[in-house]
Amino acid sequence: MFKKFSQIGKAMMLPIAILPAAGLLLGLGGALTNESALIAYPFLNQAWLQTILSIMSAAGNAVFANLALIFTIGVAVGLAKGDKGTAGLAAGVAYLVYTATISGFLQLFAEEGASIDTGVIGSIVVGSTVAFLHNRYRKIELPQFLGFFGGSRFIPIVSSFAAIVLGAIFFAIWPPVQNVLGIAGENIAKMESFGTFLYGFLLRLTGAVGLHHTIYPLFWYTSLGGSEEVAGKMIEGAQNIFFAQLADSSHQGLFTYGTRFFAGRFATMIFGLPAACLAMYHSIPVVNRKKNAGLYFSGALTSALTGITEPIEYMFLFSAPWLYVIHAFLDGVSFWVADILSIRIGNSFSGGFIDYTLFGILQGNSHTNWLRVIPVGIIWALLYYVVFRFCISKFKVSIPGMDINEDNPVENTTSDNRSTLHDESLRIIDALGHEENIESVEACATRLRVAVKDAGHVNQAAIKNLGATAVFEVQGGIQAVFGAKADLLSQEINQILGDE
């Protein structure tokens, strides 16, 4: 199980690599186009500037809004043992079918307005299922009358049917999970400072799988986050109250106590996680640091500037889930410390330096106690660095750049069909003039298309004896008609030649 999670973690490195850039676009654009930011800072309200920022926000949001789909494709491509393009396409189709299945069940059987968001868990399940089906059946031979649908073409089809089953299962099991989190939120609201710790801990813990969206809206937008009278109006929800106070020029003293559901973020996101990045960077072999420096630096900058933490967290989440639990605990403690120190900084998007500046520093220390974040943050940076450096070095956590060698799983070749296909492919390679004469091998529906260096070295009679119904020479190569088996032969030959 640990090895499987480690493989999934490595498979997700490709989609994770795009998150820092998307996070910067979304963080900058989202924070600086927020209505409350425009009210507080009129100089931002320039048409040309808002146009640029809005486009930045939309571009970044396009990635995060489709994160589950991107991760599904990334998992399938990363776990596929060959023909990875087919695996990626099948994963994309399967995820769309999966979400459509859940949506269909909701329309038929759930109350109006009900929703199910399975987040990263859904991505991992769908992507892993597609990878399993792909590795097992991508070279399947079907009866002749169904031959066109054999090989790699079979994968999107079988994956779609599997996605329907997965959608039905998640429709049944996911609502109780969401309900449990809702009940937990109601109890947390009654626990004051200890509840603040639990809120931060649970929010970070569920954030790993995308379930945090079930928790924080209860506190940001409902009475669980407090009720206060602002400018003669009764306001409910921590963020609603904060923004109302921000817009009230007559407000005196500290901002709402509901900021306890925001203020704990800043020490972790601006100081703690960037220090964890430095610890990870220092933990990898020196020879690998230069080529991995960009990944760690961009992740640290994204967290510190915008408060988007996924690029960092996914670096270690799947290789060391227990380390993520430690991180969630530290984040919960950060919320508790901010609460008892009466740090009253709100936020629009997240807990990065942008929101810290807009809603902390520029509001004045008398409203926010923003100065207290700095000593706490320095302590948090040291704490995160020491914890991560020790844990990664002590337990050999497989983070990017660590280069832990693992035995790669090998496809099962004991099947008679696989053995026969392999032998046929070897003989076809010999008939084509051996490996050195072959430039590329492709297949259409029925034909094996081979680009060769010298057509005179091709033994057409031998290829016909291996099952081709026709062989003819074209400019730069030959085409051999093998029927529906052509796609399977193409994959096997490419694998033998090392082109996959």
Handedness of CA 434, 435, 438, 441 (dihedral sign): positive
Torsion (CA) 381, 387, 392, 395 in degrees, nearest 10: 180
Tell me the two tokens of residue 257. Answer: 């106590």
What value does the CA radius of gyration of the chain take, rounded to a whole number of Å? 28
Angle between helices 67-79 and 2-11 (to 10 degrees): 110
**Active-site residue, 444 included:** yes
Q: Which amino acid is at 313?
A: E
* Given 340, 444, 461, 470, the catalytic residue: 444
Cβ-Cβ contacts under 8 Å for 205 (sequence gap 6 or more) = 324, 325, 328
Nearest to residue 378, comparing CAs of 334, 327, 335?
334
Beta strand pairing call for 447-452 and 477-481: antiparallel
Are 375 and 381 in contact by the 8 Å Cβ rule? The answer is: no
Cα separation of 69 and 89, whole Å? 11
Q: What is the DSSP string of 26-72?
A: HHHHHHHS-HHHHHH-GGG--HHHHHHHHHHHHHHHHHHHTHHHHHH
Are 197 and 336 in contact by the 8 Å Cβ rule? The answer is: yes
Helices (H), 403-459: 416-431
Q: Give the three-class secondary structure for 228.
A: strand
β-sheet bridge partners, residue 471: 480
Are 302 and 273 in contact by the 8 Å Cβ rule? The answer is: no
Which sequence positions are flagged as catalytic? 444
